[in-house]
Structure 1
């Protein structure tokens, strides 16, 4: 099963049919607990032959929507209706989730920047190693649910990476992308690829998607509903469950809008510390060079605000909700319409 030794223990029998609920357990000896253990809930639903889909959330602890959706799924999914295997890890980075922080408070590491992890590393590195070397070898399809956390807010979108070296997998990934049914279906390049979970999936040839489901430190009813429908759609799309895919237009929403993030010019950063005043809202379309907001200085009497301009045209799909900003903070991400296959 595992393609490398691991110090994480788990008593789930991944070959056994039925519903199993248990924990990933890894020793964590600290001042407060000499023989302490981090225990991370994990679920498996297996019924006969069929593909394995691995659903994860909480890679960043302050991204709540995916954790809610997957906990609800894990407590309601009927294994008798499954054809194949569903593995659910609602809060992969449990220490960060318990703290409500992006990074783990144990080792201050970003789980989504250290894959494939280390067998003898810190807690976060050990979690990444187990996922990479035990769970991914079982996996045909991986779906990782993110959001903007406390510092970003997205129009709900499902995302795939371009696969220039495997056009057949790219085609199948695009079909799954459009089946999910978020307002935006995004084709992206892994612009900051080092240590990303999705890149580890790509390296292993696993069809994978990741979602950005709102954020702003909130859980919103309509976004939870979009994500729940999307997961159900994927289970049906891959033949793991029977049923009809629920298209957005059948639920009073617009069809998924296929878009792409072209390059780093699609991101807007602030040049200094202060308070950020946005001029635009999510869904607004801008031209290259347009003013989208301004930074007000707090330590000056009459210094004029610094106006932030776009480098490229596009539609605002991501914004920074907190008003306080520091130099280098991202305050906006823009995407443009695209086609598949690309023109």
Structure 2
């Protein structure tokens, strides 16, 4: 096992269902020998793939935390062929505080891989996932949302695949998850230098996908249901949940992200577009009002891209550099 100061209360080699904590050492004024507890669940039974599922990598993203909490509670070892490892609140300090980043070290876990075994808590967590959990995994699903500031429809994210075999497996996961949209991008492979969980999975040869599931600081019931359904469909497709009976496929619209649309003024943003609305290049997508200067004309926010709205800002107050939309367009894979 890779050198790490994190200890697990769960024996990942043991069969059965176990729930406990990953103990991240954290010495502070109120607790000289204390630790931060990351909830971990292992459900293991017989032969089969090992699947790692993450939520709470960003603490203000909730659909995934709920979906994995319910899954870990409802599944029993006899339901599973293989092993399912679940982290419901992967960056526990951030999730407990309902923040994108950790209040302890301001660490953004999805920008911290490959981490540091001797670093700050967020770096230690990233290192443990990359060096301990991923090497024993065949697949990974990382559940996100738009967080406090953005909203996404239920969207799967995946790479093209570094090999034909990996591409086929990624397409299989996309079709099994069966979300309304898929964001397909390049890069990946064992030489990946990215700092995200997906990049960490790539470096370990783990077939991995991510999902953006709502956002805006709340829970969308339809998107949560899509996530719960998709997780079970994925496990079934990998022959890890043989007793599940999937319903019919609904279909996924594959997209390539063109880019984000940003503000250049401070004020209050009035959007003109909603999710999946068409967008033309140079079209005004909204305008910024200036309540502190009531006579000032609003400033239009113009898209440099064409396509459709994939993500939309949920917070009305904006500052220069804030993204208010993300634009994507249809992709045709060869």
Q: Normalising to structure 1: TM-score of the pair? A: 0.93
Residue in structure 1 matched with residue 141 of structure 2 by the alignment: 143
- 1:318 aligned counterpart, secondary structure: strand
Residue in structure 1 matched with residue 233 of structure 2 by the alignment: 233
Q: In 1, distance between residues paired with 2:10 and 2:203?
A: 26
Q: In 1, distance between residues paired with 2:132 and 2:47?
A: 19
Q: In 2, distance between residues paired with 1:117 and 1:128?
A: 5
Q: In 2, distance between residues paired with 1:133 and 1:121?
A: 14
Q: Determine if contact 1:189/1:261 at 8 Å carries over to the other structure.
A: no
- 1:175 counterpart = 2:140: no
Residue in structure 2 matched with residue 329 of structure 1 by the alignment: 322
Q: Give 1:298 shift.
A: 4.0
Q: Give 1:272 shift.
A: 1.6
Q: Which whole-Å deviations, capped at 9, do the CAs of 1:42-71 have from their partners, x for residues lacking one?
A: 000111111001011000000011000001
Residue in structure 2 matched with residue 22 of structure 1 by the alignment: 20
- 1:268 counterpart = 2:269: no
Q: Give 1:246 shift.
A: 2.7
Q: In 2, distance between residues paired with 1:109 and 1:57?
A: 16
Q: In 2, distance between residues paired with 1:235 and 1:291?
A: 43
Residue in structure 2 matched with residue 284 of structure 1 by the alignment: 277
Residue in structure 1 matched with residue 305 of structure 2 by the alignment: 312
Q: Give 1:93 shift.
A: 0.5
Q: In 2, distance between residues paired with 1:205 and 1:8?
A: 23
Query: 88, 93, 96: which one pairs with 1:95?
Result: 93
Q: Determine if contact 1:116/1:195 at 8 Å carries over to the other structure.
A: yes
- 1:157 aligned counterpart, secondary structure: strand
Q: Give 1:195 shift.
A: 1.1
After the TM superposition, which residues 25-44 of structure 1 pair with which residues of structure 2 at under 5 Å, given as runs? 25-44=23-42
After the TM superposition, which residues 206-221 of structure 1 pair with which residues of structure 2 at under 5 Å, given as runs? 206-221=206-221
Residue in structure 1 matched with residue 47 of structure 2 by the alignment: 49
Q: In 2, distance between residues paired with 1:21 and 1:150?
A: 29
Which stretch shifts more, 201-210 or 189-198?
Answer: 189-198
Q: Give 1:117 shift.
A: 0.5
Q: Give 1:179 shift.
A: 1.1
Aligned residues: 330
Residue in structure 2 matched with residue 130 of structure 1 by the alignment: 128
Residues 80, 114 of structure 1: alpha-carbon distance in 2 compared, 3 angstrom cutoff = same
Q: Determine if contact 2:50/2:84 at 8 Å carries over to the other structure.
A: yes
Q: Any gaps of 5 or more consecutive residues in structure 2?
A: none
Residue in structure 2 matched with residue 252 of structure 1 by the alignment: none
Q: Determine if contact 2:194/2:200 at 8 Å carries over to the other structure.
A: no
- 1:145 aligned counterpart, secondary structure: strand
Residue in structure 1 matched with residue 197 of structure 2 by the alignment: 197
- 2:20 aligned counterpart, secondary structure: strand
Q: Give 1:302 shift.
A: 2.7
Runs of 4+ in 1 over 4 A off after TM superposition: 190-193
Q: Give 1:248 shift.
A: 4.5
Q: Determine if contact 1:107/1:123 at 8 Å carries over to the other structure.
A: yes
Q: In 2, distance between residues paired with 1:7 and 1:82?
A: 30
After the TM superposition, which residues 66-81 of structure 1 pair with which residues of structure 2 at under 5 Å, given as runs? 66-81=64-79
Q: Give 1:267 shift.
A: 1.0
Q: Any gaps of 5 or more consecutive residues in structure 1?
A: 250-254
Q: Determine if contact 2:82/2:240 at 8 Å carries over to the other structure.
A: yes
Q: Determine if contact 1:181/1:247 at 8 Å carries over to the other structure.
A: no
Residues 160, 42 of structure 1: alpha-carbon distance in 2 compared, 3 angstrom cutoff = same
Residue in structure 2 matched with residue 161 of structure 1 by the alignment: 159
- 2:184 aligned counterpart, secondary structure: strand
